[in-house]
Amino acid sequence: MEESRRQFVAALTAGVTGALAGCGGSDSGAPTEDGTETPTAGESPTPTETSGATEVSQVVAVGADGFNFSPANFEVAAGNTVRWEWESGGHNVKADTVPGGSDWSGTEGSDLFSSGHTYSYTFETPGEYSYYCQPHRGSGMTGSFTVTQ
């Protein structure tokens, strides 16, 4: 009798544990084969930066030799991507002048970024652009470029 009781309790425990495991789970979405999560109903997917999706045609070093952009002036064809790479921290990229029709404003908000940060933008509107680092503008940390057709 004691043996039957133990088997019954063991079977009951295993069944309840299995049932509860099936009911549990997170509400953050289901993992997919590539390790990302699929949003559940009512959620919006969060945009993520993709690597290698756009070919970069111009790289600008931010703060490599103090308070400057290198190169300070350059030219890029419309439809190409410029990537700013932070060599030192405490900098941002803010648009000063842009041609009509362009919505480029530089890095978002007034955040300052650390060494290793990158910011990329694909320029579609031809014209003259100028920009600066907000906290170091007075120290001459400015740059300019031309987007050609």
Q: CA-to-CA distance for 77 and 133, rounded, in angstroms? A: 23
Q: Where are the domains of the chain?
A: 56-148
Q: Is 23 a catalytic residue?
A: no
Q: Tally Cβ neighbours within 10 Å of residue 23.
A: 7
* pLDDT confidence tier of residue 16, bands split at 50, 70 and 90: very low
Q: In this predicted model, what pLDDT tens digit does every residue of 18-77 receive, in sequence order?
A: 443 444 443 444 333 333 333 334 433 333 333 445 689 999 999 998 999 999 999 999
Q: In this predicted model, what pLDDT tens digit does every residue of 62-115 receive, in sequence order?
A: 999 899 999 999 999 999 999 999 999 999 999 999 999 999 999 999 999 999
As a whole number, mean pLDDT of residues 123-144 equals 98
Give the single-character DSSP code of 144. E
Q: Is 117 a catalytic residue?
A: no
Sheet holding 56-62, edge to edge: 69-70, 56-62, 80-86, 118-123
Domain boundaries 56-148, CATH class: mainly beta
Give the single-character DSSP code of 113. B
Q: CA-to-CA distance for 96 and 142, rounded, in angstroms? A: 9
Q: Is 141 a catalytic residue?
A: yes
By residue count, the chain amounts to 149
Q: Tally Cβ neighbours within 10 Å of residue 87.
A: 16
Contact 30, 38 (CB under 8 A): yes
Q: Is 133 a catalytic residue?
A: yes
**Rg of the Cα trace of the chain?**
27
Prediction pTM value: 0.64
